[in-house]
Amino acid sequence: MLCRISHFSRGIVNPTLAVLLHPASSRASLHLGIIIRSLSPSVRLHTTTRRSQIQMAPPLSVLLSQGTGRVLSIQSHTVQGYVGNKAAVFPLQLLGFDVDPINSVQLSNNTGYPTFRGQVLNGEELWSLIEGLESNDLLVYTHLLTGYIGSVSFLETILRVVEKLRSVNPDMIYVCDPVMGDEGKLYVPSELVSLYREKVVPVASMITPNQFEAEKLTDFSISSEAEGLRACNILHDAGPSKVVITSMEIEGMLLLIGSHQKIKGHLPEQFKIVMPKIPAYFTGTGDLMTALLLGWSNQYPEDLWKAAELAVASLQAILHRTIHDYEAADIKPSTKQYEIRLIQSQDDIKSPQVTYFAEKY
């Protein structure tokens, strides 16, 4: 059947359009958007009013595989600075991904400043966006990435999103950064902890807690490498095949501990990376780290240690550049105002130089 676009005033079908829009034409969907934009205003008006007769062309990111994928990233956003989606989207794009961000929270700036303003997306509003994508056949993703979520209702909706995305693509990879707190302090409602533990962790493909969050998810204290490894095993038993505790402070050392259970029920491959502790507080580093882990683990799906080395290399380079630039400008920020120099670190994201290596257990 031909997809007919008729002239609004005379009802004449352009034979060229009819050929190009024939379903048998492999170029039909690719050229449709270009053709419509080239039509006269009267024809465009008619295509708008009769859009139900037209099969809308999906974006090229859906049609053409780049060997990476499409990421739906649901996390916070700040107008100024780099946290949440602002810290995750750009690096993933540099690593070759198409990224569609949904902002769980939109703030003027990070909460380390004296004041901030903004809005919070609720679960119903999130689901409305998902329904909008689905109604246009745009809900095709290889990865879901989630970060800061501030309410039970929103996190429950995330679970619906996971189910919906996997109904379209059963192989969809869910990377969860369970942002709940740090350094012994919980900064989300306590009800979220049990929901993460009981419902979210079991459906995640990879989870990237910090030390405090890993303790909350496993319900025991982590004060040694052995306990960190045990925490990874508990999380594997709950669901995800890949676990990265992104930062642990043990006996004055800063560690990343990673664990990859390639076959359910088998012993995981586990490793650590020892990093220098930089005496400064940076915003957005956890969000950035999870995005980098997603990006590099997609390139090295069987070598989580390699993905972690590359992610750590990028992060360390960005932090050192940030400190250097602040010092060069003779600025001494207050405790929570080190805004990472993300845009200036593009080369370090695309081609990181590994200096801290994984040690396998």
Q: Give, in order, the Cα–Cα distances in Å from 190 to each of 49, 150, 264.
A: 49, 10, 30
Which residue from 173, 183, 214 is spatially nearest to 197, judged by alpha carbons?
214
pTM of the predicted model as reported, rounded to 2 decimal places: 0.84
Select from 310, 328, 326, 320 the least CA-distant residue to 345.
320
The single-letter DSSP state of residue 241 is S
pLDDT of the residue at 252: 83
Quote the pLDDT of residue 59. 72
Q: Compute mean pLDDT per 10 residues along the chain, 361 residues long, and list them.
A: 35 34 36 39 41 62 73 97 97 97 96 92 97 95 96 97 97 98 93 97 98 97 96 98 96 94 96 92 95 97 98 97 93 76 97 98 96
pLDDT score recorded for residue 24: 37
The neighbouring-strand residues paired with 244 are 258
Instruction: Check residue 63 and give its pLDDT.
Output: 67
Question: For residue 331, what pLDDT is reported?
Answer: 87
287 is known as an active-site residue: yes
Read off the amino acid at residue 195. Answer: L
Give the list of residues 6+ apart from residue 306 with CB closer than 8 angstroms, or none. 296, 300, 358
Count of positions (residues) in the chain: 361
Distance CA 170, CA 163 (A): 9
Q: Which of 98, 100, 177, 287 is catalytic?
A: 287
pLDDT score of 30: 37
DSSP for 76-96 reads EEESSS--THHHHHHHHHHTT
The predicted structure's pLDDT at residue 28: 36
Residue 279 has what pLDDT? 84
